């Protein structure tokens, strides 16, 4: 599957995101300092909260990208990494990754922690991401079962093709993907080797 359409891709409709879900607020050292509903955590300049990004590669070394659903509050229709979200109150980050990968893409895989970083990005008047983001990578030979409530398109892409596309059209990609991808390319070469 090398195109951006959902034609020929298994899809489903399932509401899995809620504005009132309780996110974990953290300090710059990733220590829990409280909880806040998702909507409020993203208002204005955002309040620092724990998040994750997962990059899933297939045996050929291609990355699964998702295009965010058109009705997302922040960066709708932008291309992002395989799966990104937040652990909920009382949930370990690894549990959140497995849950969200299943909810969004109907997939499961083992994954490894790579790094964490803090960033803040504003999307006009709609709000901001202000996250301490844990970045993971995994491998899977599964094809996605796309939840169209969250995702409008998916595609597998080679690292070289993604590099070129980000260079030519950076405005099509979420800010966190651009930051994370650069770091993956610089420090995690083992991810790009085909099985």
Kindly state whether residue 1 falls inside one of the protein's structural domains. no
Distance CA 195, CA 75 (A): 33
| Catalytic residue IDs | 84, 131
pTM score, whole prediction? 0.93
- Tokens for 46, please give them: 């955002």
- Tokens for 174, please give them: 């979420």
Kindly state whether residue 3 falls inside one of the protein's structural domains. no
Kindly state whether residue 5 falls inside one of the protein's structural domains. no
What is the residue whose two structure tokens read 């959140």? 96
Kindly state whether residue 2 falls inside one of the protein's structural domains. no
- pLDDT by residue for the chain (195 residues), tens digit each? 333 467 788 888 888 777 789 999 999 999 999 999 999 999 999 999 999 999 999 999 999 999 999 999 999 999 999 999 999 999 999 999 999 999 999 999 999 999 999 999 999 999 999 999 999 999 999 999 999 999 999 999 999 999 999 999 999 999 999 999 999 999 998 898 888
Distance CA 190, CA 56 (A): 13
**CATH code of 80's domain:** 3.90.79.10
Kindly state whether residue 139 falls inside one of the protein's structural domains. yes
Kindly state whether residue 161 falls inside one of the protein's structural domains. yes
pLDDT per residue as tens digits for the range 35-77: 999 999 999 999 999 999 999 999 999 999 999 999 999 999 9
Kindly state whether residue 114 falls inside one of the protein's structural domains. yes
Kindly state whether residue 74 falls inside one of the protein's structural domains. yes
State which residues form the domain around 106.
10-192
Distance CA 58, CA 32 (A): 34
Query: What is the domain count for the chain?
Result: 1
Sign, CA torsion 188/24/18/46? negative
């Amino acid at each position: 599957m090398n195109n951006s359409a959902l034609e020929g891709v298994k899809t489903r409709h399932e509401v899995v995101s809620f504005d009132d879900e309780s996110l974990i607020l953290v300090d710059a050292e990733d220590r829990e300092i409280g909880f806040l509903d998702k909507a409020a955590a993203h208002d204005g300049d955002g309040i620092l909260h724990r998040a994750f990004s997962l990059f899933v590669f297939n045996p050929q070394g291609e990355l699964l990208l998702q295009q965010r659903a058109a009705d997302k509050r922040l960066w709708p229709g932008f291309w992002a990494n395989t799966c990104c979200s937040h652990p909920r109150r009382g949930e370990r980050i690894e549990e959140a990754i497995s849950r969200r990968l299943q909810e969004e893409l109907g997939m499961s895989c083992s994954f490894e922690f790579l790094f964490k970083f803090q960033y803040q990005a504003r999307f006009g008047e709609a709000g901001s991401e202000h996250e301490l983001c844990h970045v993971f990578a995994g491998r899977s030979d599964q094809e996605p079962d796309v939840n169209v409530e969250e995702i409008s398109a998916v595609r597998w892409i080679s690292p070289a093709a993604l590099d070129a596309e980000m260079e030519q059209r950076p405005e099509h990609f979420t800010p966190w993907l651009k930051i994370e991808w650069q770091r993956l390319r610089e420090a995690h070469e083992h991810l790009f080797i085909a099985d």
